[in-house]
Amino acid sequence: MREILIRTTREVEVPAEALHALRKSSFEQWKEAGLTTSVTNCPVQTLARYLVGKAVFVAHDAKTGELLAMHTFRLNKKKHRASGANLAVSPAAKHEGIGTRMLEAEVERFRKAGYRFLAEATGIPAVWSVRWHLKNGYYITGYKRSEGNNYASYTFLKPIALDVLHHPTDIFWTRPLAPITAKLHYFVSFIITSLVKDRQGRLTWLGRRIKKG
Ligand SMILES: CC(C)(COP(=O)(O)OP(=O)(O)OC[C@H]1O[C@@H](n2cnc3c(N)ncnc32)[C@H](O)[C@@H]1OP(=O)(O)O)[C@@H](O)C(=O)NCCC(=O)NCCS
């Protein structure tokens, strides 16, 4: 197994250009599957601005120093939730368990810092990503459509707290209730999205466009 170092960009400096190149090459998989994604044509300056204030995890090859993976998080301390995005493994290193090992390190850090949930979203036709999330203990909790995307997305939640009864509502996110809670959440969000969004993600009400243009 490849030896890797998993750190945050607070601990190791990684130029925005390197993160940009990694993310772009990793997400070519989306383009090849016919999915619209701004990731493959987003300028490096836009990514650099986006990264400000985010927690950014990176994985490097311990021997060669090559940047192998990244994952960013928007932190909501009040809701004890870290929302992940930009999970990207270098094309040459996919399916080696690197994404999974990085997630394990992230969970450990976030638990210690008092976070109770990881959230994420991914395109439904990105089957490799959906499978990765389900395999790694995320529940599908929602359905959404965004304008400009030629696909609908699942939203996911992964409870990570060990002291699960610390907060009264956490009981709903603990087995055996968690799968039921997740399905109810998904059902409600599917109905709402179907009522207010068309297939292009534009606002509608019962199939009628609200905003023209
Ligand atoms: C999704 C991604 C991060 C997974 O990372 P990884 O390090 O390759 O995955 P791991 O080795 O940790 O896990 C492997 C598991 O992921 C899923 N998976 C990964 N690649 C897959 C593929 N091509 N087809 C189907 N499932 C796949 C499977 O569940 C697999 O388990 P299995 O071998 O038992 O079927 C990686 O494929 C990637 O960077 N893809 C492009 C960017 C992307 O889609 N990011 C997610 C957006 S939210």
For position 110, what pLDDT does the model report? 98
pLDDT band at 165 (very low <50, low <70, confident <90, very high): low
Mutate which of 36, 42, 94 for ligand 1 pocket (most atoms within 8 A of beta carbon): 94
pTM to 2 decimal places:
0.95
Of 108-117, 161-170, 180-189, the one with minimum mean pLDDT is: 161-170
Give yes or no for residue 84 CB within 6 A of ligand 1. Answer: no
First to last CA, the chain: 53
Where do the domains of the chain lie?
A: 4-115
Residue appearing with tokens 């060669």: 64
CA of 93 to the centre of ligand 1 (A): 10
Q: Is the CB of 118 under 6 A from ligand 1?
A: no
Instruction: Say how many Å lie between the CA of residue 208 and the centre of ligand 1.
Output: 38
What local confidence, expressed as pLDDT, does residue 137 receive? 97
Among residues 52, 123, 110, 104, which one has the least CA distance to residue 83? 110
Distances (CA, A) of 1 to 71, 98, 109: 21, 10, 23
Q: Is 128 in the pocket of ligand 1 (CB under 6 A)?
A: yes
Does the pLDDT at position 209 exceed 90? Answer: no
Q: Check residue 20 and give its pLDDT.
A: 97
Q: Quick check: 213 pLDDT over 60?
A: no
Q: What is the mean pLDDT of the chain?
A: 94
Determine if ligand 1 sits within 6 Å of the CB of residue 144.
no
pLDDT, residue 9, reads 98
User: Residue whose CA is closest, atom 25 of ligand 1?
Assistant: 128
Q: Does 90 contact ligand 1 (Cβ within 6 A)? A: no
CATH of domain 4-115: 3.40.630.30
State the average pLDDT over residues 143-152: 93
- What pLDDT does 114 receive? 93
Residue with CA nearest ligand 1 atom 5: 99
In which band, very low, low, confident or very high, does the pLDDT at 95 lie, cut at 50, 70 and 90? very high
By most ligand atoms within 8 Å of CB, the mutation choice from 132, 133, 136 for ligand 1 is: 132
Among 70, 128, 130, which residue has the most ligand 1 atoms within 8 Å of its CB, making it the best to mutate? 128
The pLDDT value recorded for residue 168 is: 76
Contact 84, 119 (CB under 8 A): yes
What is the tens place of the pLDDT at every residue in 14-28?
A: 999 999 999 999 999
Residue 203 CA to ligand 1 centre (angstroms): 32
> Over the stretch 28-84, which tens digit does the pLDDT of each residue have?
999 999 999 888 789 999 999 999 999 999 999 999 999 999 999 999 999 999 999
Using alpha carbons, select from 56, 165, 63, 65 the residue that is nearest to residue 106: 56
Residue pair 128/37 in contact by the 8 Å Cβ criterion: no
pLDDT in tens, 186-203: 999 999 999 999 888 898
Share of the chain above pLDDT 70, in %: 96
